Structure 1
């Protein structure tokens, strides 16, 4: 259950990863030090210097300015080590070789796209190089963003965990795709007008499912719109629902895939 131990982060402050014989106090204490304005390297020093078991610890810290620092104790089981760069640090222990961490770092440095997908791609790159010498079991992604949660109430943007599975990174990828679908917001380029054949398709599906009882006439009238709103609420698409004449193509594709195109 790596997700309940390793990752700690606070929006606008930074991130901490505590590994190996993990000292969980590194998480909250490290974030407190970062919030006081200390750079990542100083935070690492302060945490490990007061820890009598530091030789068994592994730690990574990134501050809000992108400075990164890490620590790998010399008693960590081999192969153990880390690599840090601008805005990231990656570390591991009981790995098949140093090439695992190198692959993670190189993937992250050269990848494009959203941050969570870049992290996932980096994990996949490390796995291709051999990963953990004991095999696979657990994986997690934890990302914070100011008001990034469902509904915008919290900063917990993405918090996905696979605690025990033969292929946890593959499962994590599926969870991220589901998270994007259900909790992602609508891209304006992915909107289509609910009229004509699109409206008919919506009406036919909603009538089959019992949400709509009117005519299938291709008019996105108040009755159709209300039925569609109820459908979106039941299927957890509140973040993609729009109170106008446009609909999100992601919802349409979901309707086709889940319930079949009429």
Structure 2
């Protein structure tokens, strides 16, 4: 019921997730990230426990593939799950269960994974991946994540429509929130044009830091 990107920018020590969906408050359920550790998105019939369990496995040195295997091995509902992971070394892993609502699929590469379900078609995934791989690596990760989401929506997005969107970025050395590595945690929970609103909030965040 969602499309998302999980990616990292080792240049700035940033790991993050961008997500959009025709579902209320997708940002409260899908993304997890920790700088130099990794990031993940859990969606479709979301298993929220994958977020803390996945980050814990990544902190303990497991690769993206090993983390994915550990999450799925104990989950009897894995056929209905969709997961994307990028580890602290930029390795990526992807899972789309056979029971995910079509169109469901994804692609991955060095430092990123793109995934979605209940999409208008494979062209959504292709547009997102092309936007990531063809993007400006000097741009802040949060802006690049939003650009990827916008490309997915323009290509068709969630076949039910729009409702929510979010960006979560953790960066090495971030002092935005005391005691945390979270640099960006912006959510649009219910909006007619959530990606437009998310872009407005993102601009405000960069223009007016605390």
- Counterpart residue number, 1:172: 198
In the TM superposition, residue 16 of structure 1 has moved relative to its aligned partner by 1.1
Task: Determine if contact 1:147/1:153 at 8 Å carries over to the other structure.
Answer: no
TM-score normalised over the length of structure 2: 0.85
The number of equivalent residue pairs is 184
In the TM superposition, residue 151 of structure 1 has moved relative to its aligned partner by 6.0
Over the aligned positions, Cα root-mean-square deviation in angstroms equals 1.1
Cα pair distance change 1:154/1:74, threshold 3 Å: same
Do structure 1's residue 114 and structure 2's residue 140 form an aligned pair?
Answer: yes
In the TM superposition, residue 153 of structure 1 has moved relative to its aligned partner by 3.8
Q: d(CA) in 2 for partners of 1:149 and 1:168? A: 27
Find 1:155's aligned residue among 181, 206, 209: 181
Q: d(CA) in 2 for partners of 1:136 and 1:103? A: 17
Which structure has the greater CA radius of gyration? Answer: 1
- Counterpart residue number, 2:22: none
Q: Which runs of 4+ in 1 moved over 3 A?
A: none
Q: Deviations over 1:123-169 (max 9, x none)?
A: 01001100000000000000001331426542110000000001100
Bigger relative CO (Cα 8 Å, ≥ 6 apart): 2
Do structure 1's residue 25 and structure 2's residue 49 form an aligned pair?
Answer: yes
Task: Determine if contact 1:149/1:158 at 8 Å carries over to the other structure.
Answer: no
Task: Determine if contact 2:27/2:166 at 8 Å carries over to the other structure.
Answer: yes
Pairing 1:247-258 to 2, within 5 Å after superposition: none
Task: Determine if contact 2:177/2:183 at 8 Å carries over to the other structure.
Answer: no
Which is richer in strand? 2
1:119 is paired with a residue whose SS is helix
Which is richer in helix? 1
Do structure 1's residue 83 and structure 2's residue 107 form an aligned pair?
Answer: yes
Q: d(CA) in 2 for partners of 1:99 and 1:60? A: 18
Q: Deviations over 1:18-54 (max 9, x none)?
A: 0000001111101111111111011111111211000
Q: d(CA) in 1 for partners of 2:50 and 2:68? A: 9
Q: Deviations over 1:188-240 (max 9, x none)?
A: xxxxxxxxxxxxxxxxxxxxxxxxxxxxxxxxxxxxxxxxxxxxxxxx5xxxx
Provide structure 2 residue ranges, at least 5 long, that are not aligned to the other structure.
Answer: 1-24
- Counterpart residue number, 1:57: 81
- Counterpart residue number, 2:18: none
Provide structure 1 residue ranges, at least 5 long, that are not aligned to the other structure.
Answer: 184-235, 237-262
Q: d(CA) in 1 for partners of 2:173 and 2:60? A: 21
TM-score normalised over the length of structure 1: 0.68
